[in-house]
Structure 1
Amino acid sequence: MTAFSLEPAQTAWCEELRTLAERQLRPLAEKGDPGHVNRPLIAALGEAGLLDRMLDSGALDLCLLRESLARGCTEAETALALQGLGSHPLVRSGTPALRARWLPEVRAGRAVAAFALSEPGAGSDAAALALKAESETGGDTGAGAAAGADAAAGAGTAAGPDAEPDGRGWRLTGEKCWISNAPEADFYTVFARTAPGTGSRGITAFLVPADRPGLTGAALDMLSPHPIGALEFDGVPVTADDVLGVPDRGFRVAMETLNLFRPSVGAFAVGMARAALDAAVEHTAARTAFGGVLKDLQAVSHQVAEMATRTEAARLLVYAAAAAYDAGEPGVPGRAAMAKLYATETAQYVVDTAVQLHGARALRRGHLLEHLYREVRAPRIYEGASEVQRTIIAKELYASREASA
């Protein structure tokens, strides 16, 4: 298999996923309450083995999952992706006890996970997090221990005994905002500042169950029908047992997760673009206007050709980034940023053009393209806005130049 083609078995699997999404998952999605967690849909993903596959897959498999589900049912894709985003830090950095407690529930679709990184004043600039994790015993919260443990523990691994702050606890105080699955998740991967004034090097990742005292939240009414909310932390207690990875090195946990999921956000976008392209081809091949069929108008056929070309280019860029991640190749952050940037911007263009080709019928509530039009805008912002992706790409280019010089 290369980065530019799929094996027949992979293509067949993608079609099976699309059929599953259309026939079994979409009816469950339509019964859900927009803006809220759809637990029956998540349970169905677990019963179908898709959550299990998602947690054990590499980047390419994750992209194929997200693209195929998005093409058939965007709500199913989003439910699966949010479970992955919230639980991936647990898979990679959780202690054996935390993994044993939560991962079977996630795999079965019984527990809802959430990734709590963004804050009212720290969205794209994740290193500016202000949620405080204050030590209950005062003093240094573990930066020195973390520095010594990095070499032994490494990025994305559970901290050993030497890295724990001798059983000390913290109290989380502050806010999180734009958190998917909040406030209805069963647990949150929370990133908090344990070492003030140290930028990205003073952040610790915690697994916080939703029933911890002092943790409250509220849903936010968004343009897209995703479950998104805000969280308030009023002295929420956490201990060394709740730490994911190494104290004060939680930023690595966040970036590992985002580097994996950014290409797959592109795959989500490609799935929506392909659904919109399918609808445009079907409509323009049958719709008559001005004495003929729309597809026979050069202005229309050229637009469809452009939609198809951009969608295919986005798909290949996503696959290439995913294959690079799985192979452990250098430059993954830049490749992932390119994939997310181009695919999400392309999907916006393709969906918008499909709406234009359909005319007023596509603006009616309940039409596929009306739904996609509301869905497609968010991916250009979350998990790093397009402007952030351009910054990452440029930074990687200049770093490569300096290294070669």
Structure 2
Amino acid sequence: MTAFSLEPAQLAWCAELRALAAERLHPLADKSEPGHVNRALVAELGSLGLLGRLFTSGALDLCLMRESLAYACTEAETALALQGLGAHPVHAYGTEAQRARWLPRVTAGTAIAAFALSEPGAGSDAAALELRAEADASRGGRSSDPSQGGRSSDPSQGGRFADTPSLTVAPDGPARWRLTGEKCWISNAPEADFYTVFARTTPDAGARGVTAFLVPADRPGLTGRGLDMLSPHPIGALDFDAVPVTAGDVLGEVDRGFRVAMGTLNLFRPSVGAFAVGMAQAALDATLAHTAGRDAFGAKLRDLQAVSHQVAEMALRTEAARLMVHAAASAYDADAPDVPRRSAMAKLLATETAQYVVDTAVQLHGARALQRGHLLEHLYREVRAPRIYEGASEVQRGIIAKELYARQEAR
């Protein structure tokens, strides 16, 4: 199989996923409370076996899932993607004990995962993160402040944390570090059941001094609050007040957590592009139907050259983005050496394309597309964020240029 064509079985699976998304997942998504985790929707993704495929399929299958779900139900696509993003580090870098504890629950849709990398001062520049993992004062697990204990979040913000009594020992053994600082713009926060958290274990070491930790949400000192964002899915901030973590909470190796982050993002960046392609295709199909049936200036809209050429451009860009996404995913599955560049290209082209296609679709539909509840009004709100998260478009351009110059210098 090449990166530029799909097998009949893959095409049939995509059609099945679109039907499932429309018939079984969309009704559950309609019952969502904006800004909160839809646990019923996540559980249904688990019962359909889709969450399990996050850990048994390759990058191309992940892209096919995300595009197909996004076409009919962006909420279901996002719920699936966030489970994968938060739990992939556990699957790929976790210990047997970590995997046994969390992955079956993630697969079943009964545990909510989150990926906690971004901070108020470290978004695009992820290596600048400041959440501190400081050595526990006694190395025996006793807090240097015996009054230290958990704090509850404001229940009006949807936090799931409860008041926690003062602990002298972290839940999974003696504390080795205490996490202090803040994470921000974290999807599924503050309602996730566990977080993949990236913290600085070695000061002033840039990307080399970061460690990844698996942090259950009930750890003392961990609190959170929801943020009122344009996106309909939950996004929040997390506060770490001397949160205890142990050697058994490390994902991968100490001071090598940036590899965990980048390894996860290299897998998920093409699939963010697939999400974007699914939205672009939905907007294109809606535009085809609208322009074929709408009368204006004595003809159908599609008969106006200015309109038909715009529709052709929408289709051209959508298909080009789809092919690049498939090529990047296939490169990842083949363990190709240029995965970072291809992943960045796919994410960049697809998300910028989706923004263009959805915006053009709104323009061709007119005011009706901005009415609350219209498909394009929904897509218009959804399509903006992918150009920022998991590396903004400007970051992707930087990655692409860096990889190109490195290859040129190696010749």
1:293 maps to 2:303: no
Shift of 1:34: 1.3
User: Partner residue of 1:319?
Assistant: 326
2:89 equivalent in structure 1? 89
For residues 202-256 of structure 1, what are the alpha-carbon distances to aligned partners after superposition, in whole Å with 9 as ceiling and x for unaligned?
0110000000000000000111112100000000000001000001100000000
Q: Which residue of 2 aligns with 1:43?
A: 43
- The amino acid of 1:134's aligned partner reads E
Contact 2:175–2:245 (CA under 8 A) maintained in structure 1: no
In structure 2, what is the Cα distance between the partners aligned to 1:223 and 1:186? 23
| Structural mapping, 1:1-400, within 5 Å | 1-137=1-137, 169-400=176-407
- Tell me which amino acid in the other structure corresponds to 1:217: G
Structure with the larger helix share: 1
Kept in 2: contact 1:114–1:181 (CA 8 A): yes
C-alpha separation between the residues in 2 aligned to 1:55 and 1:230?
A: 27
**Partner SS, residue 56 of structure 1:** coil
Structure 2 portions without partners, runs of 5+? 140-172
TM-aligned CA deviation for residue 340 of structure 1? 0.3
Is the contact made by 2:284 and 2:314 (CA closer than 8 Å) also made in structure 1? yes
- Counterpart AA for 2:382: E
TM-fit CA distance, 1:56: 1.5
For 1:102 and 1:53, how far apart are their aligned partners in 2? 15
Where has structure 1 moved over 2 Å in runs of 4 or more?
Answer: none
Alpha-carbon separation, structure 1, partners of 2:263 and 2:207: 14
Counterparts in 2 of 1:345 and 1:236: CA distance versus 1, 3 Å = same
Deviation at 1:137, TM superposition (A): 4.4
| Structure 1 gap ranges (5+) | 140-165
User: What TM-score, normalized to structure 1?
Assistant: 0.92
How big is the shift at 1:35? 1.3
RMSD of the TM alignment (CA)? 1.1
1:79 CA drift (Å): 0.2
Note the alpha carbon deviations across 1:40-62, whole angstroms, 9 max, x for none: 00000000000001221111000
SS at match of 1:365: coil
Query: What is the distance in 1 between the residues matched to 2:137 and 2:368?
Result: 63
Q: Match of 1:21, SS?
A: helix
- Quote the offset at 1:138 in angstroms: 7.7
1:177-207 per-position Cα deviation (integer Å, ceiling 9, x unaligned)? 0000000000000000000011101011000
SS at match of 1:246: coil
Q: Deviations over 1:122-155 (max 9, x none)?
A: 001010010000011489xxxxxxxxxxxxxxxx
Other structure's SS at 1:216 match: strand
% identical equivalent positions: 79
Structure 1 position 167, deviation (Å): 6.8
- Read off the aligned partner of 2:117 and give its amino acid letter: L
Structure 2 CA distance for aligned equivalents of residues 192 and 370 of structure 1: 38
Distance in 2 (alpha carbons) for counterparts of 1:35 and 1:26: 17
Contact map agreement 1:137 1:168 (CA 8 A) in 2: no
TM-score, normalising length: structure 2? 0.91
Query: Would the aligned equivalents of 2:198 and 2:212 in 1 still touch at CA under 8 Å?
Result: yes
Residues 157-180 of structure 1 show CA distances to partners (whole Å, capped at 9, x for unaligned) of xxxxxxxxx976100000000000
- What is the total number of aligned residue pairs between the two structures? 378
